[in-house]
Structure formats: C-alpha cells, structure tokens
C-alpha cells in the first residue's frame, strides 16, 4: 500500500503588539520555525479574531498605549473556549504592579521585553508544550542572508521615519508642558508613549541594549504619569526632556550601524540620610545598576581623589561640607574632573539652579522623586555621548556654605520647562 504523507497542522500564535519592528522580527523568526503567526494591534480586533480562529498561544505586550491589556486578559479568560489558552505577556521590569495584575487575571507566563529574544521565546513555547509541528525553513522573506546583514537591514529601518517620529515626539512633549489641563496632559503623554515605541522599536531583539534600556525606563515613567498625573513635577518634566534627546541620539547611532556596548558603571551616592541613600540605591537597582554609598562628604572627597566614577549623586545639605562645596572640589580632581554630577535635594526648586551650575553640577533631581525617574535620569547620563561638566564661573565665591536662600535665581541654569507645582511635590 502506498504511504501518503499528510503534513501536520501548524501551531498558531497570536501576537498583540503595536511595535512594527519587534513584531516583524518575532513573526519572521517564529514563522522560520514553522509556526503560523497572526498580529493584532488593538483591544477589539484581538477579541474578534479569537472568536473566529483557534490559536495555540497568545503573546501580549502589557504596555500598549491606550489599551488596558489586563482587562483584555480578563475578557479572554471569561470565555470558555480560551480559559486554558496559554498567555505570555511582555512586561516592563519597572511596572511590577501591572505585571502582578496580569498574572492575577490569568496570564500564564511573563517575560521582561527588554531581556527577551525570539530564540528565548521559542524555548519558552517549547516549555509550554507549544512546539512547531511543521519543518522549519532556513530563510524567510526579508531575512535571507547572514545575521550581520539582517541586523544591518533591520537596524536601518529604525531611521526610515525617525525624523518625523522624533519631531512628533518633541511636539507632544511641548504640548505636555504648555497645558495645565489634566485631560490634555494625559493625551500628550499617550502620544509621547506611542511615538516612543516607534522610535525605539525592536531595540531588544536587534541587540541595541542602550536604546532598549532607555525606552523601557521612559515608557514606565510615561505610564506612571498617565495613570497618576499628580506625580508630574518640574523635576519629572526635565527628566523626560533630557531622556528624549538622549534616546534620539542613541537611535541616530543605531541607524548609522554603530554598535552598542554597555560596560559596568561605577556610581557613587553621597547623602547623610540613610533612607535617602537606600532609596537612590533601590532606584538604581531597578535599572540593574549598583552604587557605592557614603554618608560622609569628607570621606567621599578622599575617595574621589583616588578613584574614578562614571556618575555621582550628591545631597546638597550635609554636615561638615555641603554638596555644592564638594562639587567644586571634585571639579579640581583629575580622576573625576568630567564625571557627571547630579544633585539630590529636598528643595523642589533647588534653592537655586544657578548655584548647581556654578558649582560644576550637571543636573539635579528633587525629593521626593519617583524611583523610575531617578533610574531614567541615571541611564540618561551614563548613555550620553561624551558628557562634559558645565563651566565653573567664580565657583569659590559663588557657592554658599548652606543651600537655602536663592529662590530668586530659580530660572538660571539647567533651562527647564516650567510647570505648575503640584501638592505632591515638596
């Protein structure tokens, strides 16, 4: 009897993601392994296609702008046909509450998008018992060639609409800073979120770790501000502005095929308050960074004379020596003459931005700060191309022994967009 070969049915995957670069990469890699892949980009179309077709697994991005993916998971689990359907969610490591909510509503597995690759996703699918039943192909349309050629081809796509996307992102940021209406601010935050994803699309899968880490932190901050607009402070607004420009620079370098290499960074935190030091270190931990912390500015001065650091956080008001005075001395030390210095202060207006500039500081962040805000500010300074300290003008005579009493100079230095101070800022 003649044996008839009947090909087995392909396992099917539905991906919900609005990131065109990431979805292209994952789709082509999964199809190359023999999977059938469908892609949706919004809440309603996902539910509609699930009613019409049967899938073996869902892959959902938790941080889609304007889409409540947790509610979508709840809807999916309410239908008998999809109650046991494996659901993998791409999470943001800064948004643990959102990830926990997704798991509570029925997500099967969650993976940090920044740490995930198509190869790791394929391995996770095998662990869930969803293996491709069809023979995989060596190449697929648009991905034929060496890995280096494919990398360069996909990386170049980051620059196709980059100028237009970046212009829209900056315009949305300006809209965000120019209004006091909460509804208009939330609309601008949503627009920034959408444009951010286009600007940084596919960074993790394309092995651009700096872009991936910056975009993940900025995305988390935008989501937090969208959810709780009362957290918007002048400090936060400045951090968003600086991070957008740094991210744009990173995308420019990626589009020009300049590879990214992340080396371990040495960070020093100098603050006499233990809670403040621990909070800063906790925020750095969210960005997978570690820091050395000291409570004595004189001990910090001795250390900085001997060792180089990549970034320094200084409290302003400390016993024995203020952060402003220490900053002046650091600028005279060869090991840290050009090290970026960020002041951390309990004065939401910093007493005077001019004093931070004159002492040689690069930036400041006001207490109480959001953990993701400090993490994003840290990445911004670590990933800047060739950061240089601000010029010091008559520093010895300009820097006071105490940080108070300079509110009239608020507008000087560190040009930042003004927003109305909220009651949550101290």
**271 & 251 share domain:** no
Handedness of CA 392, 268, 345, 413 (dihedral sign): positive
At 360-384, the pLDDT tens digits run: 899 988 888 999 999 999 999 999 8
CB 368 within 8 A of CB 426: yes
- 119 is a domain residue: yes
Q: How far apart are CA 259 and CA 340, in angstroms?
A: 23
Using DSSP, state whether 178 is helix, strand or coil: helix
Within this chain, do residues 209 and 283 fall inside the same structural domain, yes or no? no
pLDDT of residue 410: 24
pLDDT of residue 145 exceeding 50? no
Number of structural domains found in the chain: 3
Q: How far apart are CA 213 and CA 254, in angstroms?
A: 14
pLDDT confidence of 185, banded at 50, 70, 90? very high
Q: Which residues contact 109 (CB under 8 A, 6 or more apart)?
A: 86, 87, 88, 89, 124, 128
For residues 283-310, average pLDDT: 96
Give yes or no: residues 113 and 163 share one domain: no
State whether 283 and 385 are in the same domain: yes
Q: What is the pTM of this model?
A: 0.83
| In-domain check, residue 339 | yes
Alpha-carbon gap, residue 216 to 287, rounded angstroms = 10
DSSP state of 115: G
CATH number at residue 186: 1.20.120.160
- pLDDT tens digits, one per residue of 224-262: 999 999 999 988 999 999 999 999 999 888 777 666 667
Q: Does pLDDT of 416 surpass 50?
A: no
Q: Is residue 329 located within the same domain as residue 248?
A: no
**121 & 207 share domain:** no
Is position 315 within any domain? yes
Q: Are residues 277 and 233 in the same domain?
A: no
Q: What pLDDT does 16 receive?
A: 97
Q: E strands, 164-291, where?
A: 267-270
Across the range 44-73, mean pLDDT stands at 95
Residue 422 placed within a domain:
no
CATH value at residue 34: 3.40.50.2300
Does any domain span residue 350? Answer: yes
Contacts of 398 (CB under 8 A, 6+ apart): 355, 358, 359
Residues 251 and 276 in one domain: no
**CA angle 33-39-41, nearest 5°?**
150
> Quick count: other Cβ atoms within 10 Å of Cβ 162?
17
Give the list of residues 6+ apart from residue 356 with CB closer than 8 angstroms, or none.
324, 327, 343, 350, 363, 364, 413, 414
Q: Which helix (H) or strand (E) holds 203?
A: none
Residues 226 and 337 placed together within one structural domain of the fold:
no
Task: Select from 255, 285, 319 the last residue of a domain.
Answer: 255
> Do 301 and 280 sit in the same domain of this protein?
yes
Residue 418 pLDDT greater than 90, yes or no: no
Residue 5 lies in a domain: no
Find all residues with CB under 8 Å of 1, minimum gap 6, and list them: none
Question: pLDDT tens digit string along 33-42?
Answer: 999 999 999 9
What pLDDT does residue 349 have?
56
Asked whether residue 137 falls in the same domain as residue 217, the answer is no
- Please state the rounded mean pLDDT for residues 406-421: 34
Domain boundary residue, one of 197, 228, 255 = 255
Q: With beta carbons less than 8 A apart as the criterion, state whether 133 and 10 touch.
A: yes
Phi, psi (deg, nearest 5) at residue 416: -125, 145
Position 134 pLDDT exceeds 70:
no
Domain encompassing residue 62: 12-144
Q: Is residue 1 part of a domain?
A: no
Place 75 in a pLDDT band, splitting at 50, 70 and 90: very high
Residue in 347, 354, 369, 350 with CA at minimum distance from that of residue 409: 354
User: Model confidence at 203, in pLDDT bands (50, 70, 90)?
Assistant: confident
Position 66 scores a pLDDT of 92
Is residue 385 over pLDDT 80?
no
Is there a domain that residue 414 lies in?
A: no
| Domain C-terminal end among 191, 223, 255 | 255
Whats the size of the chain, residue-wise? 426
177 and 229 co-located in one domain? yes
To the nearest whole percent, how much of the chain has pLDDT over 90?
Answer: 63
């Amino acid at each position: 009897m003649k044996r008839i070969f009947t090909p087995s049915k392909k396992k099917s995957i539905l991906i919900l993601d609005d990131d065109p670069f990431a979805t292209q990469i994952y789709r082509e890699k999964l199809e190359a392994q023999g999977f059938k892949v469908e892609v949706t980009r919004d809440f309603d179309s996902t539910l509609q296609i699930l009613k019409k077709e049967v899938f073996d697994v869902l892959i959902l991005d938790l941080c889609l702008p304007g889409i409540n993916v947790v509610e979508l998971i709840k809807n999916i689990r309410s239908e008998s046909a999809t109650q046991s359907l494996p659901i993998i969610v791409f999470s943001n490591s800064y948004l643990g509450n959102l990830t926990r909510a997704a798991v509570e509503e029925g997500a099967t597995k969650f993976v940090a998008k920044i740490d995930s690759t198509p190869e790791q996703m394929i391995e996770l699918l095998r662990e869930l018992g969803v293996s491709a039943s069809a023979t995989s192909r060596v190449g697929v349309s648009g991905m034929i060639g060496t890995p280096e050629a494919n990398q360069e081809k996909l990386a170049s796509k980051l620059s196709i609409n980059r100028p237009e996307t970046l212009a829209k992102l900056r315009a949305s940021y300006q809209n965000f800073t120019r209004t006091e209406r909460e509804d208009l601010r939330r609309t601008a935050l949503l627009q920034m979120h959408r444009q951010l994803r286009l600007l940084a699309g596919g960074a993790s899968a394309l092995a651009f770790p700096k872009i991936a880490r910056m975009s993940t932190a900025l995305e988390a901050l935008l989501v937090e501000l969208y959810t709780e607009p009362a957290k918007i402070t002048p400090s936060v607004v400045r951090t968003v502005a600086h991070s957008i420009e740094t991210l744009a620079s990173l995308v420019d370098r990626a589009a020009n095929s300049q590879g990214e290499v992340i080396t371990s960074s040495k960070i020093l935190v100098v603050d006499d308050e233990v809670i403040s030091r621990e909070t800063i270190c906790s925020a750095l931990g969210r960005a997978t960074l570690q820091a050395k912390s000291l409570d004595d500015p004189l001990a910090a001065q001795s250390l900085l004379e001997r060792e180089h650091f990549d970034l320094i956080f200084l409290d302003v008001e400390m016993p024995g020596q203020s952060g402003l005075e220490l900053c002046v001395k650091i600028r005279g030390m060869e090991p840290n003459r050009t090290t970026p210095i960020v002041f951390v202060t309990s004065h939401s207006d910093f007493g005077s931005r001019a004093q931070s500039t004159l002492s040689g500081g690069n930036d400041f962040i006001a207490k109480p700060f959001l953990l993701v805000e400090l993490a994003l500010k840290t990445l911004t300074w670590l990933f800047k191309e060739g950061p240089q300290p601000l010029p010091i003008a008559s520093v010895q005579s300009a820097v006071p022994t105490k940080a108070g009493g300079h509110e009239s100079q608020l507008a000087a230095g560190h040009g930042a967009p003004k927003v109305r101070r909220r009651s949550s800022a101290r």
